[in-house]
């Protein structure tokens, strides 16, 4: 799992690349929670473009970060969700929670 | 008296040996190479030098005293004046002392003439410098006592003593300091000596036909073929023979005209040069051979280090005993073939008959070597032991016929076995822990209701591979008021004991909630409330349904859980309604859906491990499950859950638990 971070004014974009599973989700969660705590951006975007696999532990990590971010008033969402990760979000029903615009579209 | 060191000879023995050897040598000089002959070879100079170089310094005074006494005795017995005898005694003690002291300075440790530096130091100190001092004293003694020109006395003395020191001390040291491994057959060096004596005698026969150089190619040939000890012995034999021949009047030197001092000196010079040349050749060849064998040993050592590193890395990645055995067996670490046998956990014994050395190593707990007389292959077995504890197994290696399996090889094999033992110890611990956790998880799984009149229930559970921890998957079937039946399938995120414990808690809460809740949506809402009260509750997906046999009505709801599969007449169809988010994500409204179950249909509910595969969409897994379940129903398999789990298994490690709950609705009622 490779994590890259980009700052653009009030927006922080964290791009994930690789498999979001039992082995990697702990690190991803820690990284995102640190962004929430330390940087407190207005928008936190998690770029899922290069995530090739996402299991329930990955899902839980993304959802837990959402709880923390929402508490801080941060607009938190996933972007570029597709493929295997998109299906996991759809089937578990958390897609509208993590990708609000998807619901609209 | 000073105590002798463990490896030193007693002083009395040294004194006796030196006295005998020196007296014999000095008598030879007087009798064979008598005063009238032109021969000045003085072999005893080599005797004294050898004694000094081989004995500790505290024995030196005794040696030198013995030599002085022997010299004076022999000289006086042959009619020399006491003053001359004392002069020769001084010369013959100062000479080896100077040589030995200088040599010890340049080569403080163990002297090894097969090393070029040591050989050159020996030549410089003991063959050139020492005899130079001896000749200064001895030559002066002769010049005064016999009234000769000093140069004519000095040169022969130097040449004779130098040649004596070179050949005798060189031979003694060569034999002493490189005891040939596996000792050269005595016949070989006896043959070398005889051949040298014969060739030297022939070449020193004719006076007017110059053949004296014939022993040189022979010596050089020894230099190429033999150890330094044999070359040196041959050199000594050549020197003595040439001198005897010359002293009895044969050979070119006996017939030479001119000043006698130069004749005697050039003979010794010729012999010394031939011997030194052969020595240098021997040492050069030995150095080349040893460099070659060093390179070979280095390469082997490098390969072994690389093998150990690679094995260590492999073992670190191998969590189970089976994986460790595979890593060792396939590591290509040593020999041509490696067999790994692990002890049977039941009786602690290693059961194998094919590899005899391995079996013996396992039985005795010690390395074992065995050869197959039929094909000459060599078998090596080493035990894999837990410190002093039981034998965990054994490694067996097989080598091609003619391979060298020495102590190094055995030690290396044992290192590999020890690394394996370490990894096995860790793996056994891990396996025990996982097995305990598995048992706990199995114990937490509810005993589902059976013998229900309206449905047949079958359930299957396949844990993830040993390399993955226990998960939080569960299934449940229970009675509800009004003759209804409740089914549940759930999956708590995470793979550890905490997940298993959370699973047990949720399952119990769900059973209680289901007793009073009006429908599945309310059961899930109750689970939301309950998990909000539990600190650190994990996200989980739950599928819950209830069934009323009288009306064949099925109500179901999925909290983030994959949809149930309804198979009717061999055709699978997913029930995609009644969906909402997983439990413990955030408050959300729960929905359920309902349908009337067709006659003779099956409801299959499962956890995501059954349909999820890396690099493919879960939809593909769902399609495969629908097709497979349809086929299982059409075939009327007796054990549908197991059949389905078998067919849905894929190659590669199972990273997640897989659960299947199979409800067959009876056609009637």
Residues of B in contact with A88 (CB under 8 A): 618
pLDDT the model gives residue B5? 46
Query: What's the rounded Cα separation, in Å, for the pair B216 and B13?
Result: 37
Per-residue tokens: B460? 């299957």
Find the closest chain B residue to A96 by CA distance.
B581
ipTM: 0.86
Averaged pLDDT in 10-residue chunks for chain B of 669 residues: 56 92 86 61 91 91 94 88 89 94 88 87 93 91 83 86 92 73 67 92 86 90 84 91 86 79 83 91 86 80 83 84 85 80 78 80 86 80 81 86 81 87 85 77 74 86 69 87 92 79 87 93 92 80 94 95 93 93 85 92 93 85 94 88 89 78 79
Residue B551 confidence (pLDDT): 93
- Ordered per-residue pLDDT tens for chain A, 105 residues: 899 999 988 999 999 999 998 889 999 999 999 999 999 999 999 999 999 888 888 998 999 999 899 999 999 999 999 988 898 898 888 898 899 876 444
> With contacts defined as CB-CB under 8 Å, which chain B residues touch A19?
614
Contacts of A63 in chain B (CB under 8 A): 539, 582, 585
Residue B174: per-residue pLDDT? 86
Which residues sit opposite B341 in a β-bridge? B394
Q: Does B617 touch chain A (CB under 8 A)?
A: yes
Q: Hey, what domains does chain B have and what are their CATH numbers?
A: 11-290 (no CATH), 318-440 (3.30.450.40), 445-665 (3.60.40.10)
Chain B residues closer than 8 Å to A93 by CB? 558-560, 579-582
CB within 8 Å: B608 and A56? yes
What string of H, E and C letters represents the secondary structure of A12-64? Answer: EEEEEEEEECCCCHHHHHHHHHHHHHHHCCCEEEEEEEEEEEECHHHHHHHHH
Q: Which of B560, B614, B619 sits opposite A19 (nearest CB)?
A: B614
- How many angstroms separate the CA of residue A10 from the nearest CA in chain B? 26
Secondary structure of B393-442 as H, E, C letters: EEEEEEECCCCCCCHHHHHHHHHHHHHHHHHHHHHHHHHHHHHHHHHHHH
Among the partner-chain residues B468, B582, B656, the one whose CB lies closest to the CB of A92 is B582
The string of DSSP codes covering B488-512 is EEEEESSSSHHHHHHHHHHHHHHHH
Contacts of A52 in chain B (CB under 8 A): 614-615
Residue B577 in contact with partner chain A when CB distance is under 8 A: no
Q: Say whether B581 and A97 touch across the interface (CB within 8 A).
A: yes
Q: How close does chain A come to B313, measured CA to CA in Å?
A: 19
pLDDT at B123 (0 to 100):
93
B582 in A contact zone (CB under 8 Å):
yes
Residue B355: φ, ψ to 5°: -105, 105
Who contacts B242 (Cβ-Cβ below 8 Å, separation ≥6)?
Answer: B200, B204, B212, B215, B251, B267, B271
- pLDDT value of residue B415: 86
B489 touches chain A (CB under 8 A): no
CA B647 to chain A, closest CA, distance in angstroms equals 22
Among the listed residues B225, B258, B257, B264, the one whose alpha carbon sits nearest the alpha carbon of residue B242? B264
Fold of A2-104: Transcription Regulator spoIIAA (3.30.750)
| Sheet hosting strand B601-606, strand order edge to edge | B455-462, B658-665, B601-606, B565-568, B571-574
């Amino acid at each position: 799992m490779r994590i890259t971070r980009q700052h653009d004014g009030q927006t922080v974009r964290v791009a994930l690349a690789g498999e979001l599973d039992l082995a990697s989700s702990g690190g991803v969660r820690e990284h995102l929670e640190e962004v929430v705590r330390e940087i407190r951006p207005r928008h936190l975007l998690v770029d899922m473009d290069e995530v090739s696999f996402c299991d329930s532990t990955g899902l839980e990590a993304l959802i837990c970060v959402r709880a923390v971010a929402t508490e801080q008033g941060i607009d938190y969402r996933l972007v570029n969700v597709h493929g295997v990760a998109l299906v996991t979000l759809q089937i578990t029903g958390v897609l509208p929670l993590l990708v609000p615009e998807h619901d609209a579209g | 008296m000073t105590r002798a060191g463990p490896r030193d000879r007693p002083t009395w023995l040294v004194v006796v040996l030196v006295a005998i050897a020196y007296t014999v040598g000095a008598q030879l000089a007087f009798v064979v190479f008598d005063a009238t002959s032109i021969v000045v070879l003085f072999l005893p100079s080599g005797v004294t030098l050898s004694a000094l170089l081989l004995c500790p310094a505290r024995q030196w005074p005794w040696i030198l005293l013995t030599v002085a006494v022997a010299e004076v005795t022999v000289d006086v017995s042959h009619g020399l004046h006491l003053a001359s005898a004392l002069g020769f005694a001084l010369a013959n003690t100062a000479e080896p002392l100077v040589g030995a002291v200088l040599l010890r300075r340049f080569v403080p440790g163990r002297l090894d003439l097969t090393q070029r530096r040591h050989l050159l130091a020996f030549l410089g100190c003991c063959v050139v410098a020492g005899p130079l001092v001896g000749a200064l004293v001895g030559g002066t003694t002769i010049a005064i006592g016999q009234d000769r020109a000093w140069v004519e006395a000095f040169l022969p003395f130097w040449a004779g003593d130098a040649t004596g020191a070179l050949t005798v001390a060189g031979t003694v040291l060569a034999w002493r300091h490189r005891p040939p491994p596996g000792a050269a057959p005595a016949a070989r060096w006896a043959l070398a000596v005889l051949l040298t004596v014969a060739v030297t005698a022939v070449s020193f026969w004719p006076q007017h036909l110059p053949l004296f150089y014939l022993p040189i190619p022979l010596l050089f040939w020894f230099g190429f073929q033999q150890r330094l000890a044999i070359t040196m012995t041959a050199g000594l034999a050549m020197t003595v023979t040439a001198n005897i021949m010359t002293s009895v009047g044969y050979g070119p030197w006996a017939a030479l005209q001119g000043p006698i001092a130069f004749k005697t000196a050039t003979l010794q010079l010729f012999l010394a040069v031939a011997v030194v040349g052969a020595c240098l050749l021997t040492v050069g060849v030995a150095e080349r051979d040893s460099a070659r064998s060093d390179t070979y040993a280095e390469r082997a050592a490098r390969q072994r280090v690389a093998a150990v590193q690679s094995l260590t890395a492999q073992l670190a990645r191998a969590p189970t005993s089976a994986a460790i055995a595979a890593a060792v067996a396939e590591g290509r670490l040593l020999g041509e073939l490696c067999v790994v046998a692990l002890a049977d956990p039941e009786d602690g014994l290693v059961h194998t008959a094919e590899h005899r050395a391995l079996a013996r190593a396992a039985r005795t707990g010690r390395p074992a070597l065995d050869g197959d007389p039929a094909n000459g292959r060599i078998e090596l077995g080493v035990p894999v032991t837990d410190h002093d504890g039981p034998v965990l197994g054994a490694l067996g290696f097989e080598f091609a016929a003619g391979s060298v399996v020495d102590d190094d090889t055995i030690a290396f094999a044992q290192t590999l076995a020890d690394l394996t033992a370490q990894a096995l110890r860790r793996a056994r611990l891990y396996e025990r822990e996982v097995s305990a956790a598995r048992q706990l998880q199995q114990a937490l799984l509810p005993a589902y209701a059976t013998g229900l009149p309206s449905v047949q229930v079958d359930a299957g559970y396949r844990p993830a591979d040993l390399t993955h921890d226990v998960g939080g998957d569960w299934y449940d079937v229970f009675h509800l008021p009004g003759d209804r039946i409740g089914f549940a399938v759930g999956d708590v995120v995470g793979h550890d004991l905490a997940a298993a414990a959370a699973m047990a808690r949720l399952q119990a809460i769900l059973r209680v909630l289901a007793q009073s809740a009006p429908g599945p949506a309310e059961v899930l809402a109750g689970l939301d409330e309950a998990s909000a009260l539990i600190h650190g509750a994990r996200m989980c997906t739950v599928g819950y349904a209830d069934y009323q046999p009288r009306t064949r009505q099925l109500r179901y709801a999925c909290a983030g859980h994959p949809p149930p599969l309804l198979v009717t007449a061999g055709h699978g169809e997913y029930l995609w309604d009644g969906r909402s988010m997983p439990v413990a994500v955030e408050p959300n409204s729960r929905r359920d859906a309902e349908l009337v179950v067709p006659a003779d249909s099956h409801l299959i509910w499962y956890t995501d491990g059954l349909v999820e595969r890396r690099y493919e969409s879960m939809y593909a897994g769902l399609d495969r499950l629908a097709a497979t379940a349809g086929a299982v129903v059409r075939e009327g398999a007796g054990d549908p859950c197991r059949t389905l789990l078998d067919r849905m298994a894929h190659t590669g490690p199972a990273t997640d638990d897989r659960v299947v709950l199979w409800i067959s609705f009876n056609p009637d009622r």
